[in-house]
């Protein structure tokens, strides 16, 4: 969906004059409640890469030629807005909905033929009650959701998912076999056993293959402990699954430690374009052209935060192995700090390094950014 430059400018101007005292803007009328959330995430980045640096907001996927461009640039990262809410149907049951969009004003003047645009993220309608939640639409998979909850900067320029790439491609983008699964039915159970929930989903394959993807798992969430176990299977011919385990422990207000390990049973290899059966990059629908026999692209990440009043220090390290002989996998490092001025606004600085397990030079980035959420 393409939106004009003037439309984006007016929309962003409206966001900037919103009062910062509220965490969300809420409308209620009768049995219907609608919340308006969003974020503006701006940063200035300085890249030093062996070849033109790529990322989800600066890449060659849309035909952009990075050669000859400055290594210092501004980006909007994953700024977004969303409407979500509920409509009460009975004392125990409500209809729920969400429509979420990424704001991409940074596409202006990039010289790649694109104009200002909005990109859809989650779009679903469902039911919530004593039975749990059932949703239908384009929905964050439990596999992606459980992973991005670990990263304190999940949508900022110093997130571990992007430049250093120490979370698999199953934590990205929309489509069949992706992080936000399209044409999907998802079920979440009510909490039991002091904080445990179960998840399951089915993604309908829109091709004639009828390879319907599916996944299931558990999340345990209390005030101090968050744990996860997830399995994801694209159900295509050959090897097409991934399993991960991880969690986070919070030391009260002092900080936290977190870790995640992803075991590739073929799905990560296909999503990363490492398999001849699925050679496309990790964007759009996962399209498999044959039986996949490639697996073993395991990924792990370990990190921690430490809070000093309004300042948070962060460290993340991780590594991935793959069958790409050109890079033979890589390790990643994120060192950063943020200062939160109030519950809505913080700014941050971070250094990121992507160290290839080969003779390829390292990629490095220094980012200075600010984020406003509501």
Helix or strand or coil: residue 271? helix
Residue 290 reports pLDDT greater than 80? yes
Paired residues of 258 in beta bridges: 248, 303
List the single range of 7-21, 180-194, 287-301 with lowest mean pLDDT.
7-21
Cβ neighbors of 166 (< 8 A, separation 6 or more) are 160, 299, 300, 301, 316, 317, 318, 319, 320, 331, 332
Helix or strand or coil: residue 191? coil
Q: What is the pLDDT of residue 2?
A: 40
pLDDT, tens digit, 9 for 90 and up, residues 177-205? 899 999 999 999 999 999 999 999 999 98
Burial call 14-39: b when 16+ CB within 10 Å, e when fewer:
ebeeeeeeeeeeeeeeeeeeebbbbb
CA 213 from centroid of its chain's CA atoms: 19
pLDDT, tens digit, 9 for 90 and up, residues 132-160? 999 999 999 999 999 999 998 989 999 99
Question: In this structure, what CATH number is given to the domain that contains residue 305?
Answer: 2.40.160.10
Q: Please name the residue ranges forming H helices in 273-339.
A: none
Query: Per the structure block, which two tokens stand in for 48?
Result: 């030093």
Residues of the domain holding 225:
5-373
Share of the chain above pLDDT 90, in %: 61
List the single range of 26-30, 49-53, 305-309 with lowest mean pLDDT.
49-53
Burial call 259-298: b when 16+ CB within 10 Å, e when fewer:
bbebbbbbbbbbbbbbbebbeeebbebbbbeeebebbbbb
CA distance 143 to 229: 8
Paired residues of 140 in beta bridges: 180
Q: What are phi and psi of 6, to 5 degrees?
A: -65, -40
Higher pLDDT, 33 or 56: 33
What's the pTM?
Answer: 0.86
Number of domains in the chain: 1
Higher pLDDT, 79 or 8: 79
Are 31 and 88 in contact by the 8 Å Cβ rule? The answer is: yes
Q: 């207000």: which residue's tokens?
A: 253
Mean pLDDT over each residue of the chain, to the nearest integer: 85
Share of the chain above pLDDT 70, in %: 83
């Amino acid at each position: 969906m393409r939106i004009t430059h003037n439309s984006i400018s007016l929309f962003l101007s409206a966001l900037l004059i919103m009062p910062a005292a509220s965490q969300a803007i809420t409308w209620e009328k009768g049995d219907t409640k609608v919340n308006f959330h969003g974020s503006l995430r701006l940063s200035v980045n300085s890249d030093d890469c062996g070849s033109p640096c790529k990322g989800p907001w600066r890449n060659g996927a849309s035909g952009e030629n990075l050669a000859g461009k400055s290594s210092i640039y501004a980006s909007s990262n994953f700024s977004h807005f969303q409407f979500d809410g509920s409509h009460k149907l009975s004392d125990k049951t409500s209809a729920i909905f969400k429509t979420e969009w990424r704001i991409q004003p940074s596409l202006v003047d990039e010289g790649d033929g694109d104009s200002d645009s909005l990109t859809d993220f989650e779009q679903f309608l469902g039911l919530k009650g004593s039975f749990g939640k059932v949703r239908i639409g384009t929905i964050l998979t439990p596999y992606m959701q459980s992973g991005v909850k670990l990263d304190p900067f999940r949508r900022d320029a110093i997130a571990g998912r992007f430049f250093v790439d120490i979370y698999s491609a199953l934590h990205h983008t929309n489509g069949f076999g992706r992080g936000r699964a399209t044409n999907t039915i998802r079920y979440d159970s009510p909490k039991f056993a002091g904080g445990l929930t179960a998840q399951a989903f089915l993604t309908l394959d829109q091709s004639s293959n009828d390879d319907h993807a599916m996944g299931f798992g558990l999340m345990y969430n209390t005030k101090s402990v968050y744990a996860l176990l997830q399995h994801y299977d694209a159900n295509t011919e050959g090897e097409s699954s991934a399993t991960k385990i991880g969690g986070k422990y919070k030391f009260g207000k002092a900080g936290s430690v977190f870790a995640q390990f992803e075991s590739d049973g073929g799905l990560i290899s296909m999503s990363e374009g490492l398999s001849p059966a699925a050679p496309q990059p990790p964007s759009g629908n996962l399209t498999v052209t044959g039986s996949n026999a490639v697996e073993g692209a395991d990924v792990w990440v370990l990190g921690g935060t430490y809070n000093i009043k309004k300042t948070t220090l962060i460290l993340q390290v991780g590594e991935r192995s793959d069958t790409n002989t050109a890079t033979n996998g890589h390790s990643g490092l994120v060192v950063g700090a943020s200062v939160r001025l109030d519950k809505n606004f913080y700014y941050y600085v971070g250094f990121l390094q992507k160290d290839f397990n080969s003779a390829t030079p390292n990629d490095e980035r220094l980012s200075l950014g600010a984020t406003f959420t509501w």
